[in-house]
Chains A and B, each alone.
Chain A
Amino acid sequence: MQRFLLQRLVLLAPTLLLASLLIFAIIELAPGDPAQMMLGPDATPREVATERVRLGLDRPVPVRYLIWLEDVAHLNLGVSLVYDRPVTALVLEAFPNTLRLAVSALVLSVAIGFPLGILAALRQNQPVDFALTTVSSLGLAIPSFWLGILLILLFSVRLKWLPPSGVGSPDQGFGNSITYLVMPVCTIAVSNLAVFSRFVRSSMIDVLAADFTRTARAKGLAERVVVTRHALRNALIPVVTIVGIQFGRLLGGALITEAVFAYPGIGRLVVTSILNRDYPVVQAALMLIVLIFLAANLAVDLSYRYFDPRVSPGGAA
């Protein structure tokens, strides 16, 4: 297992390096001179030139890339052009909020999506199956920002049950902070639980038709035992990998959802930084997201190997 992990890490290195190159290119190719942006429109050309030297912008691009890479490795991500604060601090403030949102949404979508998928598979081609499949198709088609707005309309504007935006303050208590999470979590969870229920249904249908399930039934086992001990265990192997892959989708969902609910996470930080042309923050946030995404994919590879030892080190990619 350790050798397998080492091989996957080695394979990740070039991808990570290329991704860092792309992220670095964002600042290089973005319109506007960072030195001019930091000093404002009233700065003289001489001041701008001095600032360019101070920021190292006069050096060749490959040298700047290597310096930037070294800084990233030391978590020295520079200073925000807008907030005038260390980028690391801004990202570390926003990240726990996004993580809380994404993990809560993941747990909720698994808790609802899995049972729905199993139910649809057990009632294949019956009204329950058609209803669940239609609902999951709808879940995939509804844009998360519209769903978020509909939830605000219902639960904040009409019923006044939940706060429409923000994250609340820590001194208002745990219960209060939960109320701020309910709508964003549900918004992200809907499309993910639709994906999970579809995969679980598909996987269960395959496994229920497999020879070993038929053998289990032929032995006279109760249907409940056949489903839980034989079918479900095997059906969940491919599904577990989907949970990991979906984590990236969850982060994407978090970006939009945070914008709808003015939730102070990484997604909102990226969007506001792009609109404000605060490129050091954009770079840092994107780098963090790529790292999480690749770590999730690595976890998927490892889980695949754990659940199915036949997977060869080269074949899990």
Chain B
Amino acid sequence: MAATIGGAVGLAGPEPQARLRDRLAGNGIAVTVARLVRTRKGASGLAVLLALILVATFAPLLARYDPNENHLEAQLAPPSATYWFGTDELGRDIFSRVLFGSRPSLITGLLAVTLAASVGLLTGIVAGYARGWSDILGMRVWDALLAFPAIFLAIGIVSILGPGWINGTLAIAIVNIPVFARLVRAVTLSVVQRDFVMAARATGCSDGHIMRVHVFPNCLAPVIVQMAIAAPDAILVEAALSFLGLGSQPPNPSWGNMLSAAQGYLYRSSTYALFPGLAITLVVLGMNYFADGLQDAIDPRRLSGGRGGAAR
């Protein structure tokens, strides 16, 4: 579908070009969403994603207390009608903190993956289109980054930048760049062999124009799928960094640093550690389902083939 868009756009005049692209793109999104919600996994994944966005956006309205307000008379209280999820060691309402804790998770998930996708798109297209030294050098650098297990590389980067939520997000983005760059390079290598790119070259289009107008749109579908796959992993790594004290810093709530604090009170409160972990699990599970559903929606052939997760 995307190839047709690129091809058609390349050969039509400027006015019909834009209209055709908008119409096809609009239809493409509608068809993909319709296919997505038709599967159980896709629908439940989309519901979790929308719920996460709503909770993160309206946390101040949904929360029963200020997430950093101490209630010293109710330290480590069990769940009750007053404190739905109980309280922590300073008497802060865990329910409110779980709601506010969705913000760093969501923002890291979206921001880190978008950053990684942007850099990956840029470097991948240039490497795949120009080939030569820029390709060899770029890919060697990404290979070197891929030589580290993701969490080790992330904490190595955080050790340079210093602990904190923004630095953690940046580290997660850097960790994810190689996968996007390699994916985009592979798509670019295939696209530049297609007839519409040859035609664009024959009509005298510049390299920049071909990369921007013909190659870029064709890379978008696989990049979006990869973003959906990478986002839950980014959320897990952010939670892990916060758990280790290298991501979001207290007193601001994040699910990772809440679990880290809860670990010190396991003998005094058995419910403190339950809810932040449950929130991470639900969100990651939902986003994994969303990614699975999105892949099926974009490439329906997967539905009839093996769906055991070989691609994941």
Binding site for B on A (CB under 8 A): 14-16, 18-19, 21-23, 25-26, 29-31, 117, 120-121, 133, 136-138, 140-143, 145-146, 149-150, 152-153, 156-158, 164, 195, 198-199, 201-203, 205-206, 248-249, 251-252, 255-256, 259-260, 270-271, 274-275, 277, 279, 282, 286, 289-290, 293-294
In the complex with contacts A15-B144, A153-B270, A203-B310, A141-B151 CB distance below 8 A? no
State A120–B308 Cα separation when bound (angstroms).
10
Is B140 touching A14 in the complex (CB atoms < 8 A)?
yes
B170 within 8 A of A: no
Name A206's contact: one of B150, B282, B306 (CB within 8 Å): B306
Nearest Cβ on chain B to A114's Cβ, whole angstroms? 13
Q: Lowest 4 A-B CB distances belong to which pairs?
A: A202-B308, A146-B277, A18-B144, A198-B309
Report chain B residues within 8 Å CB of A289.
148-149, 152
Report chain B residues within 8 Å CB of A255.
149, 151-152, 155
State A195–B309 Cα separation when bound (angstroms).
8
Report chain A residues within 8 Å CB of B155.
255, 270-271, 274
B76 within 8 A of A: no
Is A146 touching B281 in the complex (CB atoms < 8 A)?
yes
Residue of A19, A199, A282 ringed by the most chain B CB atoms within 10 A: A19
Is A252 touching B312 in the complex (CB atoms < 8 A)?
no
Is B144 touching A30 in the complex (CB atoms < 8 A)?
no
B43 within 8 A of A: no
Number of chain B residues whose Cβ lies closer than 8 Å to a Cβ of chain A: 48
Nearest Cβ on chain A to B29's Cβ, whole angstroms? 26
Nearest Cβ on chain B to A272's Cβ, whole angstroms? 10
Is B239 touching A153 in the complex (CB atoms < 8 A)?
no
B24 within 8 A of A: no
Is A143 touching B277 in the complex (CB atoms < 8 A)?
yes
B30 within 8 A of A: no
Q: In chain B, residues 205-264, which have Cβ atoms closer than 8 Å to a Cβ of chain A?
A: 232, 236, 239-240, 243-246, 256, 259, 262-263
5 extra interchain contacts, Cβ-Cβ under 8 A, other than A138-B281, A157-B267? Answer: A121-B308, A141-B232, A145-B256, A256-B244, A260-B263
Binds A, one of B50-58, B77-85, B158-166, B187-195: B158-166
21 example contacts (A-B, Cβ-Cβ < 8 A) are as follows A15-B143, A15-B144, A143-B239, A145-B239, A146-B259, A146-B281, A152-B263, A156-B266, A157-B266, A157-B270, A195-B309, A199-B309, A203-B308, A255-B151, A256-B151, A256-B240, A270-B155, A271-B155, A274-B158, A279-B159, A289-B148
Closest to B246 in A: A274
Is B144 touching A149 in the complex (CB atoms < 8 A)?
no
State A31–B243 Cα separation when bound (angstroms).
22
Is A290 touching B285 in the complex (CB atoms < 8 A)?
no
Report chain B residues within 8 Å CB of A146.
259, 273, 276-277, 280-281
Is B140 touching A152 in the complex (CB atoms < 8 A)?
no
Nearest Cβ on chain B to A8's Cβ, whole angstroms? 13
Is A275 touching B245 in the complex (CB atoms < 8 A)?
yes
Name B140's contact: one of A15, A29, A252, A294 (CB within 8 Å): A15
State A259–B243 Cα separation when bound (angstroms).
9
Is A141 touching B277 in the complex (CB atoms < 8 A)?
no
Is B307 touching A202 in the complex (CB atoms < 8 A)?
yes
State A271–B242 Cα separation when bound (angstroms).
12
Report chain B residues within 8 Å CB of A274.
155, 158-159, 246
A-B contact count (CB 8 A): 156
B145 within 8 A of A: yes
State A158–B149 Cα separation when bound (angstroms).
34
Report chain A residues within 8 Å CB of B236.
143
Name B160's contact: one of A30, A164, A205, A206 (CB within 8 Å): A30
B110 within 8 A of A: no
Report chain B residues within 8 Å CB of A248.
149
Nearest Cβ on chain B to A180's Cβ, whole angstroms? 17
Name A22's contact: one of B145, B158, B232, B267 (CB within 8 Å): B145
Name A198's contact: one of B232, B243, B263, B310 (CB within 8 Å): B310
Report chain A residues within 8 Å CB of B149.
248-249, 251-252, 255, 289, 293
Name A29's contact: one of B160, B259, B307, B309 (CB within 8 Å): B160
Closest to A158 in B: B270
Nearest Cβ on chain A to B214's Cβ, whole angstroms? 28
Closest to A291 in B: B147
Name B308's contact: one of A14, A30, A201 (CB within 8 Å): A201
Is B143 touching A18 in the complex (CB atoms < 8 A)?
yes
In the complex with contacts A153-B270, A290-B148, A23-B280 CB distance below 8 A? no
State A30–B161 Cα separation when bound (angstroms).
7
Closest to A18 in B: B144
Closest to A140 in B: B288
Nearest Cβ on chain A to B30's Cβ, whole angstroms? 28
Closest to B280 in A: A143
Is B262 touching A202 in the complex (CB atoms < 8 A)?
no
State A152–B259 Cα separation when bound (angstroms).
13
